[in-house]
Structure 1
Amino acid sequence: MTCARHLCRGEQFEGAAIIYRIGDTFLRCFDMDRHALHRQTNMYYPFANLGDWEMANFLLQSNLSMREIDSYLSLSMTKKMLLSFWTAKELRGHIEDLPKGPRWKIHIVPTHHPTTSPVELYWCDPLECIEALFNHPFYAGKMDYSPFCMFTAAGRIMRVYSEWMSSDGAWELQTQVPAGSMLCGVILSSDKTNITNVCGGKVVHPLLISLANIRMNVRNKASSHAFLLTTLMPIVEFIHPIPRIRSVLEVHLFHACLDFILEPLKKAAQLGQMMADPLRNICFCFTPLETLRQLGSICCDPDDIEAYFDACARFRLSGISHPFWRNWPLSDPHRFLTPECLHHWHRMSWDHDVKWCRCALGSGELDFCFSLLPPITGLRQFKSGITKLKQVGGCTQHDVQRYLVVDRSDGEVGYAADDADEAGEAVLNDLWAPKQSPSDFFDITAKHVASTALSSSPLCTFTHGSTAFHLNLHPSLCCLSVDSAAEKFAIPDLHSALGDFLALHSCHGRRIQPFGRTRQLAQDTPLPFTYLQIWYKVHIQQRDYHDRTSTALTYTIHAEPPNGHWKYGHYNAAILQVDEGHDWPDSRLMGHAVVEVHLIMRPHPPQGMNVAWANCFLVYVRWLDIINMELAMHLPMLKRAVRTSGSYFGNIFPLDQISSFAHVVPWFGKTADKRLTYMNACHASQSFYLNRYFDKDFFYATNR
């Protein structure tokens, strides 16, 4: 009997994950325990009712100690409640009466060198933890069961690596296990943490375990509880006069403890283990070690540790003689000792790339250049620079990498690539995405279109191709004359641009409008309307480049006129489609132009007039011409396009011809003018860089 799970992927490993028989899940075992009869009449048993269970759940998840819970339950007001427990001990008794998951054990670890206290190792069987994750009903439909290859298109031109099962390593490992069996990849993660703050400051290394088969967007969310605590690794003090020897002994103990607790997983990797998935299907599973994060990397000979350590130091060896993974079948250090995002990418960039920039530019110039960067809504702006930041975490380091200023020998200033973004790993989005899920404008549009109660007015949330748009329901300016708008937004040719757009629209109908056309109508040409509705911003959302079923981050394009804060206005750049034969992002920049958006509007037709252009949102944009490619940093260099008359090259287009938000940065020259600020730098500049590195999806879309 073969597995019936279907995955819409390019190629799937044949003959993997065969279902041998039907087993039980945790919930089924829960319904078959000795209290199952009581739960037929009271689903909250051993608690009296829903309120009783809610009180117990609140107390257990709070930070109250057992004594504090007793004090709360002894209050006269609390005693008026109909509870089934009146002491913390009785509450714990109810919990102990429920079906159990992996049980905690204690093991005294023997050591060859004296310590200040006995080495107590608290642990759960890691194989039981893996079985609990593999069997959990929450992960039904959220796991991969056999290796697969994924491609961006049916032509299989570009291979996509997203989940562990999509890797070449998983495919190769599947060939090394018996036919019909399944891989259950093990993820181990550990870091030092405090478990008491007042009573002695006790610290341990909690060892977390997870299942690599669980899809990454689920596994990396804390609310999914996909990482289980399997061990509290002890941190003890060895009695030895030399500090470096004590450090070696501590790491040796770390490996010895891991060697002991991970033995069940090693046996399962060698012999296999029958385990039931969330749908009760039993498969023959093998457990290779796939990821290891922040674990120790040295051990020693307990017989003569000083001589051994000195010998290792002379040859610059780490001192590992018996690493815990030495007898773990199917596990290869070059695969599971993978780079870790925070330290290997973000921290490395902060510790090395930023220091290099400081040496090249100087701290003052580097901070000043960062302070001039035009802001991106939703991302951090560094108004005071970056060299004096305190408590710089992963999120801040990530944002710095989006537009890291560098200096070159010829004196030009550009932006360094973010290695983490170039890697394109979806884990970055999971780790540093906003806490609240962003709105899905594609889904909102689909619901609006499906609604039968649509008005005659255009939808403020709509899609075109791979891009979704969202405008506020009410415009920023409800009724502004064309001449007033031209004066307010400093667009002297707005009247003639609108006339040209309407003339072209009436002749050719609704289609992709080209760029570069000359003015056909005079400035005083009559228009069929007098007033405009104007919006100061539009939100742009796209599909994820490698997963067109997922949405990427939302960006905001501002088109605000001069005001008290923005003396010259606040305008963002965008990618505009100018050739209907090229679609974003597959065609990259081919058939597209980089533009600066200066006005977002909708003509306000006279009452009773029903014309096609009245239901069309329009934008007035100015062209930023790509003049060359900066070879060292692979950044397109832009220049403001001008007409033969010397005026800026601007035209009007339908809003939905915009394909993407674009981050353009002024070219400052060898040193930035000290009169510049982030509010006037774009206005004062004629040349720009198109920053391809501010967003992972934008990088892939513009990668030649």
Structure 2
Amino acid sequence: MSDPTGNLRHCFTPLAAYIVDTPEACMLACVCGKTSPVMMASHKDFSDAFWHERCTGARTLSQLSRIQCDPNDLERYFAQCKEFRLSSVAEPFWRNWPLTDPANFLTPEPLHHWYRKFWDHDVQWCKNALGTPELDFHYSVLHPIVGMRHFKDSIMALKQVTGRAQRDMQHFMVAVIGGAASREVVIAVCALMDFQYLAQAPRITSIIQDRIKATLAEFHNHKDKITDEGLQRGAERGSALDHWFIPKLELMQSVAPSISELGAPVQWSADTMEHAHIEVIKEPASTTNHQNYDTQICCYLDRVERCRLFKTATHLSALSDADNTHDQDLAAEDDGAEDGDMNMADDEDAMAILKDIWSSRRSVPDLFSIAERLRTALPGSVPQPVHTFSLGATALCINHQPSIKHISIDKAAELFDIPDLRGALADYLGHAHLPFSDLQVWYKVRLQQKSYHDSSSLEPVFTINACPPDRTWKYGHHNAAILQVDVRHEWPASGLTGHTVVDVCLIMCPVSPRGLRLVWDDRLLVYVRQFDMVPQQQADVDLATRLHVLKQATRASGEFLGDIFPLDQIKSYAHLVPHFGEATDNQFTSTNSFHSAQSFWLNSYFNKEFYYALSL
């Protein structure tokens, strides 16, 4: 490598991490397939609830040195290697590589070790517990989330199950089986889900590390119920199995120890490599004539790179030409400007072009920046009310044009089926006689949050709908949200303390009478119906699923309890799943389950950031 002065230096780096799947890890560690690549454990030990002794490189090399046989005598050499459960590799590539040991560089790999294991085993247990038709029906009637996959037909009939599909299934599995599968099975599945969510946190403290160990131990304490009920079955014959020959299950024991040595496991996921495989292999291969793949793929990649470099050069050249053309004008306008300031501006323009060219095409919108620009704009230059604003860790955005520009309060109450709308507005304003009679109405609000672990990182945007009933949505298309009711507690640091779960039914802004401007003219309000938490055996959450159980709050008369709040008190999207129980109402659909169910799970697993807010 070249040093800062231009001299070439020999650099010898340690092998810190090698991101591979389980079979490849066994190959690199030079052990047989039914042996752990990092622990001294065979397939009969995979169900043990403790961390086995490490399979170090020194131990493997020592075992190889004890084999007194010519490696070219394959039959004898294979037989002697089998005694040590070795794969017959005579000279591992890492044997003389300083500071390099398979026990250290073979890191936990979330994509295959967790997501793939979830599909191969967890999903199959749940399918066998509920039955394929019932599990598919539960998924099909879930309330859809804009931007997330909705399994409207079947999850078990999917032809190609990608890592993304496996991740999407995880968001709902615990809530889907809660109350429908036996308690012990739900606890086991939930423990594994907690393990995966906690282990994927970008920042892991010693407390979270202890919780990762505890959740894995809890699974082992309850896993026998899965085999007792015959839910662990063979992939080919479908017969019940009474063993746990699952390599990925044993590899989970090494997750917590690896965190202390190598940091958060999420950085070692194979997602990047799998995506690169699509870009540099699959997509180029689709442009070939299916002959001489290597040559044609390399030619394709070379041309793509040349096009990108040419585009970069032309953009930078255009910027330079524009600067030269207007050089005199700029000098006249900025006669007193320092040269350093102008050079800095040029550099920023160049970096902006490079960022635009090379950045991902799927960049996350930044509602916080938009809100800040609107907040600091000159008075009178921004239409009121401001349609994008932020408060704390949440930014909200509604369309500039309302869905309904003018509608009377009574007609809005009829359209949205909110009989107590006028009374709720009067209670909120503290006046029996409302000073306005018309409203502006929006059908949705977009919400963005900052990452729980890193406030400089932004999360994807969620859409909260508040549409009136129509032919498709008999009861209206609504979504649930977390709403702040106590200003002393901030989301997400405080979790649900000082907050409540609500059904967002109407997004509105009062319209002042003609010729009169009221203080309410630029107030964005929401009409919501609140949910009550159902106490669970001396705990706030169900002890099996670790989810809150909710039911809609009602008045003494039995009517739903509705209230008016400022829109900016909404802090997060929330996903509710019907509490299905052992018998599911066949009348449920994805468009009515949110309004027809008697009780709900507050699904903390639908989003990792939401999970961290409620769990940490």
Moved more, 531-540 or 310-319: 310-319
Q: Does the CA-based 8 Å contact 1:413-1:668 persist in structure 2?
A: no
Partner residue of 1:424? 200
Q: Does the CA-based 8 Å contact 1:411-1:670 persist in structure 2?
A: no
Partner residue of 1:403? 172
User: For residues 190 and 667 of structure 1, do their structure 2 counterparts lie closer, same or farther at Cα, with a shift above 3 Å needed?
Assistant: closer
Q: Any residues of structure 2 matched to 1:200-239 within 5 Å, and which?
A: none
Instruction: Look up the SS of the partner of 2:549 in the other structure.
Output: strand
User: For residues 315 and 326 of structure 1, do their structure 2 counterparts lie closer, same or farther at Cα, with a shift above 3 Å needed?
Assistant: closer
Shift of 1:421: 3.1
Pick aligned residue for 1:581 from 488, 505, 520: 488
State the AA in 2 paired with 1:611.
L
Q: Does the CA-based 8 Å contact 2:16-2:100 persist in structure 1?
A: no
Shift of 1:558: 0.7
Partner residue of 1:662? 574
Q: Does 1:542 align with 2:465?
A: no
Partner residue of 2:79? 310
Larger % of strand: which? Answer: 1
Shift of 1:456: 5.2
State the AA in 2 paired with 1:632.
A
Distance 1:644 1:448 in 2: 44
Partner residue of 2:399? 472
Q: Which runs of 5+ in 2 are unaligned?
A: 32-62, 203-265, 276-359, 536-540
Measured on the aligned residues, the alpha-carbon RMSD in Å equals: 3.5
Pick aligned residue for 1:596 from 503, 526, 530: 503
Shift of 1:420: 3.8
User: For residues 190 and 398 of structure 1, do their structure 2 counterparts lie closer, same or farther at Cα, with a shift above 3 Å needed?
Assistant: closer
State the AA in 2 paired with 1:639.
K
Deviations 1:370-398 (A, max 9, x none): 00111111110000120000111111111
Distance 1:444 1:330 in 2: 49
Partner residue of 2:146? 377
How does the TM-score come out when normalised to structure 2?
Answer: 0.62
Pick aligned residue for 1:364 from 110, 129, 133: 133
Deviations 1:145-186 (A, max 9, x none): xxxxxxxxxxxxxxxxxxxxxxxxxxxxxxxxxxxxxx8875
Distance 2:27 2:427 in 1: 77
Q: Does the CA-based 8 Å contact 1:422-1:699 persist in structure 2?
A: no
User: For residues 307 and 609 of structure 1, do their structure 2 counterparts lie closer, same or farther at Cα, with a shift above 3 Å needed?
Assistant: farther
Distance 2:445 2:15 in 1: 44
Q: Which is greater in Rg? A: 1
Q: Does the CA-based 8 Å contact 1:412-1:669 persist in structure 2?
A: no
Deviations 1:625-682 (A, max 9, x none): 1113111121011111111111111100001111111111111111321121111111
Shift of 1:318: 4.6
Q: Any residues of structure 2 matched to 1:520-535 within 5 Å, and which?
A: 525-535=432-442
Q: Does the CA-based 8 Å contact 1:557-1:571 persist in structure 2?
A: yes
Pick aligned residue for 1:625 from 519, 532, 544: 532
Number of residue pairs the alignment of both structures matches:
416
Distance 1:312 1:303 in 2: 13
Distance 2:595 2:563 in 1: 19
State the AA in 2 paired with 1:395.
R
Shift of 1:187: 5.1
Distance 1:367 1:675 in 2: 15
Moved more, 304-313 or 484-493: 304-313
Partner residue of 1:355? 124
Partner residue of 2:309? none
Q: Does the CA-based 8 Å contact 2:184-2:544 persist in structure 1?
A: no
Q: Does the CA-based 8 Å contact 2:484-2:499 persist in structure 1?
A: yes
Instruction: Look up the SS of the partner of 1:527 in the other structure.
Output: coil
Distance 2:457 2:15 in 1: 25
Q: Does the CA-based 8 Å contact 2:409-2:439 persist in structure 1?
A: yes
Shift of 1:311: 4.1
Instruction: Look up the SS of the partner of 1:625 in the other structure.
Output: strand
User: For residues 490 and 413 of structure 1, do their structure 2 counterparts lie closer, same or farther at Cα, with a shift above 3 Å needed?
Assistant: farther
Q: Does the CA-based 8 Å contact 1:529-1:606 persist in structure 2?
A: yes
Distance 1:456 1:625 in 2: 38
User: For residues 675 and 413 of structure 1, do their structure 2 counterparts lie closer, same or farther at Cα, with a shift above 3 Å needed?
Assistant: farther
Deviations 1:35-87 (A, max 9, x none): xxxxxxxxxxxxxxxxxxxxxxxxxxxxxxxxxxxxxxxxxxxxxxxxxxxxx
Partner residue of 1:270? none
Distance 1:22 1:325 in 2: 26
Q: Any residues of structure 2 matched to 1:171-210 within 5 Å, and which?
A: 188=18
Shift of 1:480: 1.1
Distance 1:478 1:249 in 2: 66
Instruction: Look up the SS of the partner of 1:403 in the other structure.
Output: helix
Q: Does the CA-based 8 Å contact 1:585-1:701 persist in structure 2?
A: yes
Larger % of helix: which? Answer: 2
Distance 2:428 2:579 in 1: 32
Partner residue of 1:570? 477
Instruction: Look up the SS of the partner of 1:551 in the other structure.
Output: coil
Sequence identity of aligned pairs in percent? 46
Deviations 1:453-507 (A, max 9, x none): 533512111001110001011111111111111111111100000011111xxxx
User: For residues 624 and 311 of structure 1, do their structure 2 counterparts lie closer, same or farther at Cα, with a shift above 3 Å needed?
Assistant: farther
Q: Any residues of structure 2 matched to 1:3-14 within 5 Å, and which?
A: none
Distance 1:250 1:620 in 2: 61
User: For residues 465 and 321 of structure 1, do their structure 2 counterparts lie closer, same or farther at Cα, with a shift above 3 Å needed?
Assistant: same
State the AA in 2 paired with 1:409.
S
State the AA in 1 paired with 2:4.
G
User: For residues 412 and 656 of structure 1, do their structure 2 counterparts lie closer, same or farther at Cα, with a shift above 3 Å needed?
Assistant: farther
Q: Does the CA-based 8 Å contact 1:533-1:601 persist in structure 2?
A: yes
State the AA in 2 paired with 1:474.
Q
Partner residue of 2:115? 346
State the AA in 1 paired with 2:494.
S
Partner residue of 2:426? 499
How does the TM-score come out when normalised to structure 1?
Answer: 0.54
Distance 1:249 1:367 in 2: 40
User: For residues 673 and 545 of structure 1, do their structure 2 counterparts lie closer, same or farther at Cα, with a shift above 3 Å needed?
Assistant: same
Partner residue of 2:328? none
